[in-house]
Each structure stands twice: as C-alpha cells, then as structure tokens.
C-alpha cells in the first residue's frame, strides 16, 4: 500500500474535543465509533478511555481524563495534558458531533476497503489462495460489518421488509443463516432451530446442577467453524479443556484431569482416543479466559477486542453472581447492570451470549428438592427481563444422593412457547443427553 491512507485528523480531534465538552456528544460517539475507527492510535486510545469513564458514570473533563490516563500509564504516550487541552480548543462546540462521527467513520471504512482490495489483489496472484466463493464471502462480511456499524437509530420500515424477504429468498435458495442448536429437540424446535446470534441467553439453576457442563455441551455441539469464547470465573482453562477433550474422546473426564497432575494408568485405546481428540481441537477457534478479572466492563472490553479481530460467534460467561461492577457495590444493582450491559453487547456485536446464573439457594425442608422457577431469579429482575431465552436446569435426587430425574425448562422464550423436557446425563463423559433423541436413534 502506497501513500497516506484516508484519514481526517481534524475530525478526529473535533470528535474527542466534543466528547470532553458534552456528555451527550460522548454518548453519541460511543455508539457511532470504536477505537479502531481512528487513524491515529493515540486518538483511539483517548476515545477508549473517555468511553470507559462515560460507561462508569464519571463526568468526563480534562482533569478526570488526565487522571485516568495517568493511572493507566498512558498520559505521556498520548501527548500529556497539553495535547488534551489542544483537543478541547480545536472544536468550537459539540453540536456537530454527528457530522464529526460520520467523517471519522467513513474514513475508517475507506481504509478497511482499501486494505481488503490490496488483500484481494495478493490473493489473485497466489496459486494457493482462496477460491472465488471464499473471496466473495470475505467481501460480503466486510460490507455487512460496515453496514451494521453505519445503521444506528431508526431504520426505515421499507428497508427492514426488503431485508426480511431477501433472507426468505436466500433460505429458499439454500443459504443457511447462523443458528446454534442446543442438541435438545424440544428446545431447538421452540427456538426455530437453536439459539440466535445477537441475543442474550441465561442458563439458571440451583448450585451444583451442572450448568457449566451444559453450556460446554451446547458450545461443543456447534460446527467446527463456529468461534467460541469462554469467560469462566470458577474453573481454570486447563480444567475446562480437560472436560472438552474427554467429551470428544469418549473417555472418563476424571481420567483426563488426573493425568494432568499425577501419573495415571491409561489404556492404549484411551490414550489414542485422547490424542485424536486433542488433534481435533487444534482446528477449532476457541478462547478460554476470564479469571484475571471479575469486572464486567473489563470482560466486555476483552471480548469485544477479540470479536473485532476474530468475529466471535458464541460467548459463554460463568457465572453472573461472580461478576462485579465498579459502578455498583450492591449485589442486586450489580447483577442488573451486568445483565443489561451484556444484552446490549449481544445486540450490537451480533454475538450470542450465554450467561450462567445461580438461583437463590433453596431452603431446607419439604420443598428442598423442588425445581427452581423464574421467581427464584428475582434477586435481579434483569436476569429475566433482558435475555431472549432463559433455561432452567434441575436435578431431582433420590435419598441416597443419586439422580432421580433431570429436567430442562425453557422458562423464557421470546420467539415461541415455553416448555419442559426430561434429559439424561452420562457422568463418565460429563455430557447431557436428549433422551427422546437417543430413544429415536435406538429405534432406527
């Protein structure tokens, strides 16, 4: 690439200056732009800090911005307080924030398209390059991403109707739109094929019911090209990986976990199955983390940075009650904020987010074995108000502690009916099973 890429530094400075002068301008820019929209990296860094402070409810001005940049060790990097003052002085007012954002965004989109054009040119001269269908898909993905970023606020009904019919025609022609099947026939049928991109899904239950295992089962059932991120605040990445490898290999999960810390007898057949399972995971794009911080805003920033680079499809978070918010110290208020923030992220990013949640601990007594209901999630009403789908997992136990019955309730479904089904569980593989589907397969 030769020459200076398309950019407008004056518009970038005016955008940042307006954000410092007016909290409304900061809110508008936070919706319209991202850190990557700015040509100068220091401008993107300043923008990101202003948005973080705005999200925390801090009134952003020269002093609070400089203090936060200093705390992060970035004040000198962006030019010091003198440059921040220059940003404020460079803009006559904040009333033109919409126009500033359009100029910055359009310049960013042109840079993306120029980069794509150069990449396509390189592919054209490379014998081992992608085929025409793959190249066409890459072009459409870039254009769709730009259109999504450009569409904020109200959309004309005519455009929506046209898009609906275009999707219907595309499906008739054989095109497949993303859905994430759970593997349970009743749930997938009521959700029109599975979980949808761009929505928040809650999996709830009493403690120690297997919610993490269920979420891993759902994620692992997806096609190999589905990109998955997991933020676990309870289990270390290696422990989660051991469960996934064991499920794939068809061996006891405890065997895999034990072999990571102590010398364990493993048969040749099991060892080969584990090696084959490990090889299959090398081809899948999964990322596991989350124990570094419990702050929901930090986790969101981490996930969005990954999403910008990799276009994550599915994000699993374990679990809601361990998330914290720097804005709220009360548990109920913190959970409300977390649920709303994650719902917003799902809607704006297009990721399907699965949030695990513990219901309030049941009291001891005659009803101690009862399944949870949506009422048991009322410690944070947003856990039922914000998601599009909520499932409740429950194990009924015998007196000796063995499992009597496992139920999966589709307690909230904004796309269709609610319902409940009985499911099975393989303790060796740590895998939940669709009993109806298993029986159907046996009868064939």
pLDDT of 161 above 60: yes
- Which residues in the chain are classed under CATH 1.10.860.10? 9-100
Q: Which helix (H) or strand (E) holds 205?
A: strand 200-205
DSSP string, 394-434: EEEE-TTS-EEEEEEEEEEETTS--EEEEEEEETTTTEEE-
Residue 270, classed as helix, strand or coil, is helix
Handedness of CA 223, 224, 225, 229 (dihedral sign): positive
- Multiple choice CATH, 185-442, 3.40.50.300, 3.30.420.40, 3.90.1640.10, 3.40.50.720: 3.40.50.300
In the chain, the percentage of residues whose pLDDT exceeds 90 is 31
Task: Band the pLDDT of 251: cuts 50, 70, 90.
Answer: confident
Taking alpha carbons only, the member of 94, 6, 96, 80 closest to residue 46 is: 80
Most confident of 58-62, 262-266, 329-333: 58-62
Answer whether residue 275 shows pLDDT above 70: yes
| Separation of alpha carbons 253 and 246, rounded Å | 5
Residue 439 has pLDDT above 60, yes or no: no
Residue 391 is given by DSSP the state E
Give residue 355's pLDDT.
95
CA distance 294 to 298: 8
Question: Whose structure tokens read 């993905």?
Answer: 141
pLDDT level of residue 406 (50, 70, 90 thresholds): very high
Average pLDDT, the chain: 82
Strands 228-232 and 314-318 come out as parallel
Architecture of domain 9-100: Orthogonal Bundle (1.10)
Secondary element (H or E) of residue 230 = strand 228-232
For the chain, residues classed under CATH 3.40.50.300 are 185-442
C-alpha closest to that of 325 among 339, 315, 314? 339
Q: What is the pLDDT of residue 237?
A: 85
pLDDT of residue 354: 97
Question: How many residues can be counted in the chain?
Answer: 444
């Amino acid at each position: 690439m030769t020459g200076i890429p398309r950019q407008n530094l004056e518009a970038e400075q005016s955008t940042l200056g307006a954000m410092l002068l007016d909290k409304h301008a900061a809110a508008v820019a936070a919706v319209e732009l991202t850190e990557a929209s700015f040509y100068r990296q220091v401008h993107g860094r300043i923008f990101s800090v202003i948005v973080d402070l705005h999200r925390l409810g801090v009134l952003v001005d020269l002093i609070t911005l400089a203090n936060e940049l200093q705390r992060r060790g970035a004040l000198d990097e962006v030019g010091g307080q003198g440059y921040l003052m220059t940003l404020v002085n460079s803009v006559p007012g904040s009333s033109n924030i919409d126009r500033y954002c359009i100029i910055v965004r359009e310049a960013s989109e042109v840079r993306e398209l120029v980069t794509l054009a150069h990449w396509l040119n390189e592919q054209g001269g490379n014998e081992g390059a992608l085929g025409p269908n793959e190249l066409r898909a890459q072009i459409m993905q870039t254009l769709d991403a730009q259109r999504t970023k450009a569409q904020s606020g109200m959309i004309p009904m005519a455009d929506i109707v046209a898009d609906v019919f275009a999707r219907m025609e595309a499906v008739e022609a054989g095109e497949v739109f993303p859905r994430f099947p759970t593997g349970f026939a009743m749930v997938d049928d009521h959700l029109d094929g599975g979980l949808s991109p761009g929505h928040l899904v809650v999996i709830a239950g009493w403690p120690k019911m297997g919610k993490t295992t269920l979420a891993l089962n759902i994620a692992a059932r997806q096609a190999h090209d589905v990109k998955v991120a997991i933020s676990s605040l309870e289990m270390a990445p290696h422990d989660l990986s051991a469960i996934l490898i064991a499920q794939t290999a068809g061996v006891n999960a405890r065997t895999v976990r034990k072999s990571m810390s102590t010398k364990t007898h493993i048969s040749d057949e099991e060892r080969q199955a584990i090696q084959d399972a490990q090889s299959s995971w090398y081809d899948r794009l999964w990322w596991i983390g989350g124990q570094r911080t419990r702050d929901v805003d930090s986790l969101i920033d981490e996930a969005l940075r990954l999403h910008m680079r990799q276009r994550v499809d599915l994000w699993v978070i374990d679990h809601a009650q361990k998330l914290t918010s720097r804005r709220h110290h009360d548990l109920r208020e913190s959970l409300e904020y977390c649920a709303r923030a994650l719902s917003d992220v799902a809607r704006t990013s297009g990721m399907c987010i699965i949030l695990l949640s513990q219901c309030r601990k049941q009291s001891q007594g005659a009803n101690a074995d009862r399944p949870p209901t949506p009422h048991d999630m009322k410690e944070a009403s947003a856990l039922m108000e914000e998601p599009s789908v909520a499932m409740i997992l429950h194990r009924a136990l015998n007196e000796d502690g063995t499992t009597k019955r496992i139920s999966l309730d589709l307690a909230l479904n904004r796309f269709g009916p609610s319902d409940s089904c009985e499911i099975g569980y393989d303790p060796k593989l740590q895998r939940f099973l669709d009993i109806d589907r298993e029986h159907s397969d046996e009868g064939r």
